[in-house]
Amino acid sequence: MARTDARGRGVIRVGLVGQGITASLTPPMHEAEAAALGLAYEYRIFDLLDLGVPAERVGRILEEARESGFAAMNITHPCKQLVFDIVESLDDDAARLGAVNLVVFADGRLVGYNTDWIGYRDGLVAGLAGASFERVVQIGCGGAGAATAYALLSHGTAHLVLTDADVDRAEELTERMRPHFPGQVVETVQPGRLEAAIRTATGVVHATPMGMLHHPGVAFDVGLLQPAAWVSDVVYRPLETALVREATRRGHAVLDGGLMAVGQACASLQIITGANPDRARMERHFRALIGAEEQAAGGSIR
């Protein structure tokens, strides 16, 4: 059933479904920017852990949301591949990626999109202007890695080298990307050859959980990089991972995970509402939220 706010405006109702997501910053980012745009907007979390249901029930959650008048649902781990097989229509980019992180309820149909890659591509444009994308090495080929690889190639990376502790996963992503970018080189290297690949890279993308609060560490030796090489990390809790800190200390251009997080939220909001969010304003809000988290934790989010 449609809802209205105190001023009689129709409320745009949106949700996020996934596991362990109660602390997600997506709801406040969406709601704050929607308010700035003059929209009546409500964002609700559907945490599978709180609901006590398995990820395989995501289809029913989507149906109930549609029946309740929701306009759209963002999708996160572990449901992106499951939803890919549920939606009735797919955006071309989501079809190529094999994962959906946004479902829009349009004309009674579930339409799937992927804004993760858009968020990362826009981060490359905003944060690495003038950088070389001649030869990029990417570490990690899971869900985030698929989005970053697609974004890198869409942005014009000439030679993309993919590696993962799971060699088959890296090979699968390589084979998935090649047909869509026939004029560019996409190859896989074994983890044992990673050091040699990094020495010749113009940029390195880190797309694994390493560096998160409960997964400390650095995925590669930053000292192997050429002086002009750049570094990108998809982890944003904390924003200053050990990798970001070390690369910055050594004078490399750095792209932290915040730009991808903001970019995907901005793209989702635009698709859902048809409005034009202010990406810079969303980023300022996001970084203020992260800063408040770190202050509340006594600066321990490192």
Q: Which residues are catalytic?
A: 80
Q: What whole-number distance in Å separates Cα of residue 33 and Cα of residue 62?
A: 24
112 contacts: CB under 8 Å, gap ≥ 6: 83, 84, 87, 89, 90, 91, 94, 100, 102, 103
Partner residues linked to 179 by β-bridges: none
DSSP string, 87-144: -SEE-HHHHHHT--SEEEEETTEEEEE--HHHHHHHHHHHH-TT---SEEEEE--SHH
CA 283 centroid distance within chain = 14
Q: What whole-number distance in Å separates Cα of residue 219 and Cα of residue 124?
A: 21
User: Are 139 and 118 spatial neighbours (Cβ–Cβ below 8 Å)?
Assistant: no
User: Are 27 and 68 spatial neighbours (Cβ–Cβ below 8 Å)?
Assistant: no
CA 262 centroid distance within chain = 8
- For CA atoms 207, 212, 214, 218, the dihedral sign is positive
- For CA atoms 261, 262, 266, 269, the dihedral sign is positive
Instruction: HSE, CB side, 13 Å, CA atoms: give it for residue 182.
Output: 1
Rounded (to 5) percent helix, strand, coil in the chain:
45, 20, 40
